[in-house]
Amino acid sequence: MEDNRRIRVAITHGDTNGIGYELIFKTFAAPEMLELCTPIIYGSPKVATYHRKALDIPASFSIINDAREAREGRVNLLTCMGDEIKVELGVPTPESNQAAMQALDRAISDYRNGLFDVLVTCPVDERHLESGGVKFGSQQAYIETCLGEGRSVLPVYVGDALTVALVTDNLALRDVPQALTPARLEERIGCFYNTLRRDFRLSNPRVAVLSLNPDNGEFGNFDREEQEVIAPTVSKLAENGVNVFGPYSADEIFSGSTADAFDGLLAMYHDQGLPPFKAREASEGVRLMAGLSVVCTAPESNVAFSIAGRNVADETAFRHAIFLAIDVWRNRQEYDEPLAHPLKKLYHEKKDDSEKVRFSIPKKHENAILERAPKTAPTPAPSAQPAQPTPEATDGGEEQQQQQDE
């Protein structure tokens, strides 16, 4: 891709009976947004026109049939479906859900072909999300299936004050203890730590790990997970250089200013981390799908059927999702660039794998017995000539003879 172009942001329109197009129109009504990026909306011109008329919003867009046709300085609307789709604002229907999946499928296909840089998804009705007869619990699960390459997505919720990740997501509370294994926890901590370093450009982030049980299980006989899983895993990673701490009880972290001392918080399950996050971040939170090769974000809001078509939806979280996607993409470029072409070593390490080196005796030890032997003064060799008097002896003899003469 060209170096001097603006970042291409792919946006899927979400459920066609929801608030997706309202979020898009309101966000790109600000001219500075088109100076920041080139949006490619994966959707339907007919549906977009219907929403624009219902909302009475002066929105303009250019219709394209291929992402390669996208141009800077305008909202590019890529046609992903036919005109026969029916719009029923505020009503969840199989047809509207299918339209959301068609847009997502086209975006995933275009990403594989390198036609855009980052992906931002509008809300969908995740209760009835399915593709090819297979039900998915969320857009995240579907994107993970298509682009995960065998890796699990780590949901990271980003706000102004908090950054929270989840060890388990969309899992019944009764199943969380069984899913909380040392291997899974270690992988989640490692992914979160690396995400903070690479995607957020924090050189040495501090990660707090929450406990599973109330008060770390200190006041009851229910601390098995803390004693056998969480605490040992945290200690192991800390010894290996990961800046991780815990476990902390949820009330200790969220009730005071303890959370401010950390760059990221790792909660054990959905309702442990999300309610405090949403309470503090209000309507401005963003979800980052970490652990994927694609940069993918979404506003932390639901499909909001109850307000669809009423022109009252708040687009702040959606705008922040675009900002975060662009920031993460740039941070990854800066992080990966020096690692792509490392400098060659200017020296060669000396290595000798021979058995002789392993078992040979150093030279300084060969004469160890002689070195430890007591040293005696050498016996002078006999001389045939008489010994010459020393200067001191000569001077002393002359003085004695002089005294006798006197």
Average pLDDT of adjacent 10-residue blocks, the chain of 406 residues: 78 96 96 96 96 94 96 96 88 91 95 97 85 73 90 94 94 93 97 98 96 72 84 96 95 89 96 93 90 96 93 96 98 90 67 44 39 45 46 46 46
Tell me the residue type at 210: L
pLDDT at residue number 367: 40
At residue 134, the pLDDT reads: 62
Strands ordered across the beta sheet of 154-158: 62-64, 76-79, 37-43, 7-12, 118-121, 295-299, 286-290, 154-158, 163-166, 264-267, 207-210, 244-248
How far are the Cα atoms of 23, 109, 115, 225 from residue 144, in angstroms, in the given order?
24, 14, 19, 28
Residues 341 and 47 sit within 8 Å (Cβ to Cβ) = no
Buried b / exposed e across 186-214, counting CB within 10 Å, b at 16+?
Answer: bbbbbbbbbbbbbbbebeebebbbbbbbe
Q: How far apart are CA 398 and CA 405, in angstroms?
A: 11
Indicate the SS3 state at residue 94.
helix
pLDDT for residue 347: 64
pLDDT of 189: 98
Fold agreement between 1-158+284-337 and 160-280 = yes
d(CA 76, CA 62): 5
pLDDT of residue 149: 87
CB of 207 within 8 A of CB of 266?
A: yes
Which segments of 195-269 are extended strands (E)?
207-210, 244-248, 264-267
Q: Select from 3.40.718.10, 3.40.1310.30, 2.60.40.1730, 3.40.190.10 the CATH code of 160-280.
A: 3.40.718.10
**pLDDT, position 133:** 61
Closest CA to 137 of 122, 126, 149: 126
Q: Compute how many other C-beta atoms are within 10 angstroms of the C-beta atom of residue 353.
A: 6
Q: Which helix (H) or strand (E) holds 76?
A: strand 76-79
The answer to whether 325 and 297 are in contact (CB under 8 A) is yes
Judged by DSSP in three states, 333 sits in: helix
Please check whether residue 133 is in contact with residue 234, taking contact to mean a CB–CB distance below 8 angstroms.
Answer: no
What pLDDT is recorded for position 253?
93
pLDDT at 18: 96
Alpha helices by DSSP H, 351-390: 355-359, 363-366, 368-372
Distance from C-alpha of 275 to C-alpha of 166, rounded to nearest angstrom = 12
Matching residue, tokens 């946006």 = 11
Peptide bond just before 275 cis, omega within 30 deg = no
Architecture of domain 1-158+284-337: 3-Layer(aba) Sandwich (3.40)
Helix spans in 180-239 (H) = 182-198, 224-225, 231-239
Domain range summary for the chain, segments of one domain joined by +: 1-158+284-337, 160-280
Pairing of strands 62-64, 76-79: parallel
For the stretch 315-319, contacts whose Cβ atoms lie closer than 8 Å and that sit 24 or more positions apart, written own/partner, are: 315/22, 315/23, 315/26, 315/27, 316/283, 316/284, 317/283, 317/284, 317/285, 317/286, 318/23, 318/24, 318/27, 318/120, 318/122, 319/27, 319/33
Query: Is the separation of the CB atoms in 146 and 264 below 8 Å?
Result: no
